[in-house]
Amino acid sequence: MANAAAQTPDDDGLVGRVLDERYVLEAVLGEGGLGRVYRGRHLKLGRPVAVKVLLEEFRQASDVVQRFEREAQALSALHHPNIVTVIDSGVSDGLLFLVMELVEGEDLDAVVEREGALPIERAVGILTQVLRSLAYAHDKGVIHRDLKLGNVHVRPMPDGSEHVEVLDFGLAKFLDTSAPTATGATNLKLTRAGMIMGTPAYMAPEQVDGAACDTRTDVYAAGVMLFELLTGRLPFVYSEPTQMLRAHLVETPPPLRTIDPRIPPDLEAIVRKAMAKSPDERFRDGAEMLVALEAADLSPAPLEAVTGKLREYSAVLTDNVERLSGELSRKAQGLSEELGLSTQLDALRRRLPGPLRSLPPPVLFGVGAGALLLVAVVANVAATPSSPLTPDAALAPLPPGADLADLEQRRGLPAPRDPFADLTALPEPLREVYEVLEAGRWTRRSGRRYIGRLRRAARQAPSDCRPVLLQAHGFVSQRYLSGALPLYEEAFRRDPSCRGDPRMLRNLVMMAGTRTLERDAGAALIRIYGDEAENALAAAIEAERGTLPRHEATRQRWRRLLDQL
């Protein structure tokens, strides 16, 4: 595992614990679907290690325990330069743990986030090492099932090259190599029917369907990785997991050379075959894809082809701009005539400075509408009475023995309203971010730019809750829940009426159902919404019908919170 800067959750009780009288857990490195990973140290040898411990909610689930034990068995059987080495595994006081080497370097996700698209030779060199690890594992009857940039670490070598190691075979399964399919790929055993395992951005269609997986499932993920290394973006860009899963099932990824015409045609063909919807149309396994990649012609596309493509895209873009501009002019002119605004526009044009008198009618119409909107907003703000109770008073803790009635008496807050109900009142930077969130286009990389804008807007308007809310919503879309929670509380302190934002209520309920934020998010939900949270919690319990242990744990957390109301 990565020797990265560790962050230890305040409520983690295992830091400092000694497992099997040999390994002391020093800090949290990260958490996956089944286990939490700690930086540890071998007490006798002083050797740094990475220790994965099965999460508490799964320790009583026999199928999950079996899967965890199978992971240890699968990894211990793999000895390859491009696969992380398993050192030990065992059970200590009911804790199932897996000990691995502590890998130096950084994961590919961080590399691409920082550098964007990699040079073609570098991208191919990295994926070649990944495919070597897959070819070896597939030959041993093991598939990864969660291959992604975040599970691949690169380490610079003294000679200037990069060494790659594949991590976290946490979803790996043994294959029944005695029962080949018609195409020669091997079937996955020990998979519960209908269970979806993996990471949405890299999941093959058969994984999304919950169907049996085989070596070609890893091939699909490797194709996604090659696409991302060459372009700096995913084939399907959505922030919501459900949208991402649907895209893998029904959408065709964009051709690589429409994103970067310099990419060699051979690489585009390899990605297209690796990401075929039908497993039968993909490479059979990692070894076959490796042969194709090593044989690929990496010569860049001829200059004439690149410039031709650029001219083609430029022509299409120009046609679209002209068409949309004409439509906008016609619609604006028709609207102005319908509303009898021609005379007003002419008068407005005469009052403008000389250089602005030549503006087309659509722009003049927008100027006039904006001026009227500004007058209305100023008048509304001037007429709004100040709240007799400050947000900080509403957030103050209740005295011992106080009940909900006491809380309601003390609230005295302005009526809730959706701060995004009138999008025309949103400043342009905020409106752009809001539309990005609504369209599900907030990504980890683009989000860094949006967050910078929102923080500047929040500093410039200390009483405006909207930039803080948008930043919190963006964090939730990327599952950075612990960062979103204090932002929601900050938004409420700025303007208590912001509790009318439906997304904020939905997200706080979701956070209150998580293991790490149950207490803090639940307390915030009660402070901000009072008994308004009751219906939302009841609806969440009714909607959560999953059968896995974690689903029942989530329902129990919501029920405990309902009991407090």
Catalytic positions are 146
113-139: b (≥16 Cβ within 10 Å) or e: eeeebbebeebbbbbebbbbbbbbbbe
Distance CA 504, CA 470 (A): 10
**CA nearest 410: which of 427, 434, 391?**
391
- The sheet that has 86-92: what strands, in order across it? 18-19, 23-31, 35-42, 48-54, 95-101, 86-92
Quick count: other Cβ atoms within 10 Å of Cβ 174? Answer: 17
Alpha-carbon gap, residue 293 to 304, rounded angstroms: 25
Could you give the CA distance from residue 264 to residue 254 in angstroms, rounded to a whole number? Answer: 15
Give how far Cα 267 sits from Cα of 225, 255, 271, 276, 493, Å. 12, 10, 6, 14, 53
Helix (H) or strand (E) holding 313: helix 303-338
Q: How many C-beta atoms lie closer than 10 Å to residue 192's C-beta? A: 10
Q: Which amino acid is at 238?
A: Y
| Cβ proximity of 267 and 292 under 8 Å | no
For 181-284, where are the E strands, in sequence order? Answer: 186-188
Contacts of 53 (CB under 8 A, 6+ apart): 14, 19, 25, 35, 36, 37, 38, 95, 96, 97
Cβ proximity of 20 and 156 under 8 Å:
no
103 phi, psi to nearest 5 deg: -85, 135
- Give the integer Cα–Cα distance in Å for 276 and 206: 11
- DSSP class of 364: H
Non-local (6+) Cβ contacts of 156 within 8 A are 105, 162
d(CA 112, CA 114): 5
